[in-house]
Amino acid sequence: SDLQKQEERGELLQPLIFVLLVLCSVLLYFRVSLMDPGFVTSEEEMKAGKSEEQNMVTPQVPSNVKMRRCGYCMVKQPMRAKHCQLCQHCVRRYDHHCPWIENCVGEKNHPLFIVYLSAQLVVLLWGGHVAWSGLYFEQSWDWLQHNIFLLLSFLLIATFTIVVLLLLISQLYLISCNTTTWEFMSHHRISYLKHSELENPFDQGVVLNLWRFFC
């Protein structure tokens, strides 16, 4: 049959890989959106879960900066934590609240969020290539009527690709500097940053920053 011939020629391999990538992207989406981003639930959990990174960088922060108790959920916030009004929890190493996954990006799910963005970008680039390869341009009304759906699909994919690419690049840059989106945007309002002699007391070099984040 035609299907067997296509399989023998290897023509079904690429569609299969694409479907598997889409499935992987969907599974990553649900995993990142449903998992605990690093909620601070009590002082005991905060002390038990204090990371090695915080132990190393705390001495570089001015001694007059004290850990404060959150005015919303009344837990003692570890350094780099922030209360999210939408999640109604304090989140360790808070980066941002992502409306797309309807969850915070924090200490626990941040690396997986980067993996999700990377998988999503590959799917979008591949889908954009497929949509573009199916277009052949002619200056006629009939051509537009027959290709309007494919053209709109390509434009939509291109828009999402640009958004995901910019987000991924900005995230990787901040990770390489060992800072978060919240710290980058609100540097002048965060006590342990504005009173520090160093512009970024958590920065330990690009290689070590990336190693500590992903490994």
Q: What is the pLDDT of residue 59?
A: 45
Catalytic residue numbers, as ranges? 98
Q: What is the pLDDT of residues 8-60, one digit of tens each?
A: 555 677 888 889 999 999 999 999 999 999 998 875 454 544 554 444 444 45
Tell me: pLDDT of 195 over 50: yes
Q: What is the pLDDT of residue 192?
A: 83
User: pTM here?
Assistant: 0.81
| Pairing outcome for strands 82-84 and 89-91 | antiparallel
Give the number of other Cβ atoms within 10 Å of residue 152's Cβ. 11
Tell me: pLDDT of 145 over 80: no
Confidence of residue 69 (pLDDT cuts 50, 70, 90): confident
Handedness of CA 91, 51, 171, 124 (dihedral sign): negative
Give the number of other Cβ atoms within 10 Å of residue 110's Cβ. 22
Max CA distance (Å), the chain: 77
Q: What is the pLDDT of residue 61?
A: 54
- Least-confidence region, from 8-12, 65-69, 202-206: 8-12
More confident residue, 143 or 155: 155
Give the number of other Cβ atoms within 10 Å of residue 155's Cβ. 12
Tell me: pLDDT of 178 over 90: yes
Q: What is the pLDDT of residues 71-129, one digit of tens each?
A: 888 888 888 999 999 998 999 999 999 999 999 999 999 999 999 999 999 999 998 88
Rounded Cα gap, residues 35 and 80, in angstroms: 20
Tell me: pLDDT of 138 over 80: no
Q: CA–CA distance from 19 to each of 46, 183, 197 (Å)? A: 41, 38, 51
Q: What is the pLDDT of residue 13?
A: 78
Tell me: pLDDT of 6 over 50: yes
Tell me: pLDDT of 4 over 60: no
Rounded Cα gap, residues 203 and 73, in angstroms: 30
